[in-house]
Amino acid sequence: MPQDAGTVVACVGATGGVGTTRTAVELARLATTHDRRPLLVDTAVATQGLARLLPTTPRVDLCDALSDTDAVDLDAIAVDLPSELRIVAIDAPLCSMTTALTAEAAAALTDAIAHAAGTHPLIIIDVPPVATNLAIAGLISADEILLIHRLGDHEGVRRGRELIADLDGADPHPVTIGTPAVAELSLPDVPALRTGTPLATPVDDPGYRRALAAAAAAVGVSMPTPESTGGWLRRLFT
């Protein structure tokens, strides 16, 4: 990437169900408070978690765009939310995923992320436990990798590190999300995300608060003090 390119951060789950999507959303929302205006990209074809945050079905989702691997423009398919989040979602039936899971589509996504980094100061990619070409594309495109795992899952971290090393990915920052219950917290509902109001479910777990602070610091997203923030972030730190 060019030297003035934005930072690409991959939130990668060591295993499924550890709160990777939640953490990616929280980091993106945190970045908006510092005018980073992040682009949030989903590569999790199985769960399609970011699509649940959109008020309507996107006109063109990532799988649709990748069916034409000659030209993939993430900005053209991103959905703008009033909270200043921009989301590139996967919202596709199984029958239309086949072409998006090819090596050619993965290469097109890698190129598209590199191109988007030329105009976006921050791109955050939601990456499931690596098992598909799209997940690999998201991982190898990243300048920084956050390896999200459950408290005490040393084996998951070891496997995650080995897999990332096999793919020549950036040296990951392991981030413990705290207790397993945190992963089960629901994502904010659509009105909360769109208007920037506090999360539908408050995050009171201290382990998660520490994890989010560590994740933000690792990828260079400034963490404001509780006194200088309001709304959802105040609830996160008080």
Q: Is residue 151 part of a domain?
A: yes
Task: Report pLDDT for 9.
Answer: 92
Q: Is residue 211 part of a domain?
A: yes
CA–CA distance from 7 to each of 42, 125, 228 (Å)?
16, 11, 25
Identify the burial level of 172 via C-beta atoms within 10 angstroms of its C-beta, where 0-12 means exposed, 13-18 middle and 19 or more buried. Answer: buried
Domain region containing 56: 7-237
Task: Report pLDDT for 137.
Answer: 92
Q: Is residue 163 part of a domain?
A: yes
Q: Is residue 1 part of a domain?
A: no
Q: Is residue 207 part of a domain?
A: yes
* Contact present, 13 and 153 (Cβ < 8 Å): no
Which residue is associated with the tokens 């086949």? Answer: 98
Task: Report pLDDT for 131.
Answer: 78
What is the token pair recorded at 55?
């008020």
Task: Report pLDDT for 217.
Answer: 80
Q: Is residue 184 part of a domain?
A: yes
What's the rounded Cα separation, in Å, for the pair 64 and 67?
5
Q: Is residue 116 part of a domain?
A: yes
Q: Is residue 186 part of a domain?
A: yes
User: In total, how many domains does the chain have?
Assistant: 1
Task: Report pLDDT for 55.
Answer: 74
CATH number at residue 201: 3.40.50.300
Q: Which residues of the chain have pLDDT under 70?
A: 1-4, 34-35, 69, 95, 177-211, 222-238
